Amino acid sequence: MALPPITPAMLLVFALILVALVLFATEPVPIDITAIGVMVALLLVEPVSAILASVGLLAEPLVVLSDPEAGLTVVDQGLSGFANAATITVLAMFVLSAGVQKTGVIQILGAKIAAVTRDSELKQLSATIGFISPISGFINNTAAVAILLPMVTDLAHQGRTSPSKLLIPLSYASMFGGMLTLIGTSTNILASEIAGRLGVPGTPFSMFEFTALGVVVTIVGTIYLLTVGRWLTPARIKPEGDLTEEFEMSEYLTEVIVREDSPVVGQTVRDALRDTDFDVDLIQLIRGDEIFLEPLGPKTIHVGDIFAVRTDRDTLVELSDAEGFDLLAEVTVDEMVLEGADEGQNLVEVVVAPGASLVGETLASTNFRQRYDATVLALRRGGELVRQRMDRIRLRVGDTLLVQATPGSIDRLNANRNFIVAQEVERPDFRQSKIPVAIGMVTAVVLAAAFTPIHIVTAALAGSLGMVVTGCLKPHEVYEAVQWDVIFLLAGVIPLGIAMERTGGADLIADLVVIAAAALPPIAVLGLMYVVTATLTNVISNNAAVVLMIPVAVQVAADLGASAFSFVLAVTFAASTAFMTPVGYQTNLFVYGPGGYRFTDYLRVGTPLQAIFAVVTTLGIAAIWGL
């Protein structure tokens, strides 16, 4: 087989892909920013190379995007990701998912399930998997995990089960549940549109195109998680009923009393702490029979005031000498003490959500305490617990903060899309009267896209508008519902796939795959495409993996004389099921902090499941659609 010629344009695109892969994997900047950077670089290649060619520095301009025969300019192609039906459909699905969430129907169903699982770990695990899987087929699976994370965490605490035993299964089940329908995950929608643009027969996918295989992998995945997976999943977090015990805070929480000779008497709390270098937080003020929480800054310090403080023992000794505080002996500051100021819930775990404005910032640079009237007592990143100098740590997606705040502040954190509060918080604003309307709207979208000539993007946009018109969502909530980082990621990486096709890069990779696997039968090459895509997806974004691998899969199929549809399906399923790393899929990051996991936990639990899915998916595609 003769390989296509390697051109300067092809080399440039490969170099850009390599840089993008490194940036996606290491995330020095958010992946959506990397994607937009890739798009801008591709937009600049042709005009800049034309300038260089005009002054004799290049033999001829480089063509990476434009298609004069089709009348498409570099700008048309470079910005096509923003107008792509996949991008708009994913945006609309976020809105539809939010409309369902605002009714509280999922929380109501979750409460009913929690009532029957009690303290049986197997029942809790079965309920978690059995609930998230079907839901993920009809609302975005990332949104489904965000909604159910508090319910599952509470389920574990109430049943005295380690949350670690339930949260990886929650993430994994949402992934294979997302393969039940076209709309279960943004990756499916993107793969459908790319394959359709490439002219693959049978694409774009219909709503239930691969439901049969989705049911098979869901059953296989469920059996694995309830048996081998249950045994492999570690109990990283002890099943404590008290959050202070769970975060091992006994050595970092205590109470002090203000002495008569204290130099801070008469000062406000804010002024007293403003210039101090001590690593200390005053988290609760007890004055007589009254207990005060944040905001404590304006409070004037009196003799005899008792403060609950977060600090370490060495700092406490220095603080006592310098600020005139005495340690109260034989005092245990636990969750009961910290929640004594109010009848509501004052101590919660808060997870930093994907796309949060706090990512890359510190607690100090964001003025977290002042902005949210809340104090961070500890930070958990995977299996690492941090209880000192937290204000200097740059926050990442999935970081779990142990937060002390008033019920009102916790409600505001719960409503803020930067965070996921990992315990169920009473939400009186659920629009329960709209439950039939919201469910009817999603059902109408699914049925219209499945059984009428209406395109999925049209049905999804109409459903999103219907959510607002019927009052399931308020107009301003539409914009809050969208995960804009995902939208910009899609818009940024779609032109990269076009550049691969346009320069012949996809053809070259495909020919190399066919040559390397010359002695293998087509079904083995199909399995190889699954394995390569799954490996790539576990390192970079799943959407980026689809953009890069579908053109290759189509060309490999053409070289083998095999079904391009089957090869596209293998890539789609592989890209939507990234089990081996916490960074491979957003839902894995969601549960990383709350589960207290280590990176190797995903390898231990996810690698066998990934191998099983490689076999089941390959054989399933061959049996259902043929090669």
Q: Is 284 helix (H, G, I), strand (E, B) or coil?
A: strand
Mind listing the pLDDT tens digit for each residue in 157-177? 777 888 999 999 999 999 999
Task: Say if CB 119 and CB 76 are below 8 A apart.
Answer: no
Neighbouring residues of 115: CB distance < 8 A, sequence distance ≥ 6: none
CATH number at residue 276: 3.30.70.1450
CA dihedral over 97, 100, 103, 107, signed as positive or negative: negative
Residue 431: inside a domain: no
Whether residue 504 is found in the same domain as residue 576? yes
pLDDT of residue 113: 75
pLDDT of residue 136: 92
Distance CA(578)–CA(534), nearest Å, equals 6
pLDDT of residue 428: 56
Examine the pLDDT at 32 and tell me if it is beyond 70: yes
Indicate left, alpha or beta for 626 from its phi (over 0: left) and psi (-120 to 50: alpha).
left
User: Which of 331, 361, 381 corresponds to the end of one domain?
Assistant: 331
Instruction: Out of 264-268, 377-381, 403-407, give the one with best mean pLDDT.
Output: 377-381
Residue 309: inside a domain: yes
Examine the pLDDT at 343 and tell me if it is beyond 60: no
Distance CA(186)–CA(144), nearest Å, equals 13
Whether residue 298 is found in the same domain as residue 411? no
Distance in angstroms between the alpha carbons of the first and the last residue of the chain: 21
Whether residue 480 is found in the same domain as residue 589? yes
Query: Measuring CA to CA, how many Å separate 504 from each of 86, 130, 222, 480, 550?
Result: 24, 45, 41, 40, 14
Distance CA(48)–CA(62), nearest Å, equals 9
Residue 29: inside a domain: yes
The pLDDT > 70 percentage for the chain reads: 94
Neighbouring residues of 520: CB distance < 8 A, sequence distance ≥ 6: 528
**What is the domain extent for residue 56?**
8-82
Residue 393: inside a domain: yes
Distance CA(625)–CA(212), nearest Å, equals 11
Q: Read off the pLDDT band of 344 (50, 70, 90).
A: low
Amino acid 280 reads: V
Report the Cα 83 to chain-centroid distance in Å. 24
CB atoms within 10 A of CB 468: 15
Distance CA(438)–CA(463), nearest Å, equals 9
Q: Work out the average pLDDT over 521-548.
A: 91
Indicate left, alpha or beta for 160 from its phi (over 0: left) and psi (-120 to 50: alpha).
left
Q: Which residues of 151-171 are buried (b: 16+ CB within 10 A; e: fewer)?
A: bbbbbbbebebbbbbbbbbbb
Q: Work out the average pLDDT over 288-313.
A: 78
Examine the pLDDT at 156 and tell me if it is beyond 90: no
Q: Which residues are paired to 420 by β-bridges?
A: 351
User: Which of 82, 102, 132 corresponds to the end of one domain?
Assistant: 82
Whether residue 311 is found in the same domain as residue 403? no
DSSP type of residue 281:
E
Whether residue 180 is found in the same domain as residue 209? yes
The burial of 111, by beta-carbon neighbours within 10 Å (0-12 exposed, 13-18 middle, 19 or more buried), is given as middle
Q: Which residues are paired to 379 by β-bridges?
A: 386, 401
Q: Which residues are paired to 546 by β-bridges?
A: none
Whether residue 76 is found in the same domain as residue 88? no
Residue 130: inside a domain: yes
Mind listing the pLDDT tens digit for each residue in 68-91? 888 889 999 999 999 899 999 999
Whether residue 484 is found in the same domain as residue 576? yes
Domain count, the chain: 4
- Name the residue with higher pLDDT: 59 or 605: 605
Mind listing the pLDDT tens digit for each residue in 389-402? 777 788 888 888 88
Examine the pLDDT at 622 and tell me if it is beyond 90: yes
pLDDT of residue 215: 96
Q: Read off the pLDDT band of 330 (50, 70, 90).
A: low
Residue 433: inside a domain: no
Q: Which residues are paired to 258 by β-bridges?
A: 325
Q: What is the 3-state secondary structure (H, E, C) of 208-220?
A: CCCHHHHHHHHHH
Tell me which H or E stretch contains 174: helix 164-177
The pLDDT > 90 percentage for the chain reads: 40
Whether residue 601 is found in the same domain as residue 491? yes
pLDDT of residue 456: 92
Whether residue 47 is found in the same domain as residue 67? yes
Q: Which residues are paired to 286 by β-bridges?
A: 291, 306
Whether residue 521 is found in the same domain as residue 575? yes
Examine the pLDDT at 341 and tell me if it is beyond 60: no
**Mean pLDDT over the full length of the chain:** 86
pLDDT of residue 76: 92
pLDDT of residue 391: 78
Examine the pLDDT at 256 and tell me if it is beyond 90: no
Q: Strands (DSSP E) along 13-91, which ranges?
A: none
Q: Read off the pLDDT band of 465 (50, 70, 90).
A: very high
Q: Which of 225-234, 411-420, 518-527, 561-570 has the lowest mean pLDDT?
A: 411-420
Q: Which residues are paired to 348 by β-bridges?
A: 403
Whether residue 478 is found in the same domain as residue 610? yes
Whether residue 97 is found in the same domain as residue 227? yes
Residue 54: inside a domain: yes
Distance CA(414)–CA(499), nearest Å, equals 42
Residue 429: inside a domain: no
Examine the pLDDT at 481 and tell me if it is beyond 80: yes
Examine the pLDDT at 271 and tell me if it is beyond 80: no
Q: Which residues of 222-235 are buried (b: 16+ CB within 10 A; e: fewer)?
A: bebbbeebeebbbe
Q: Work out the average pLDDT over 331-339.
A: 67
Q: Which of 66-80, 83-97, 260-274 has the lowest mean pLDDT?
A: 260-274
User: Which of 296, 331, 366 corresponds to the end of one domain?
Assistant: 331
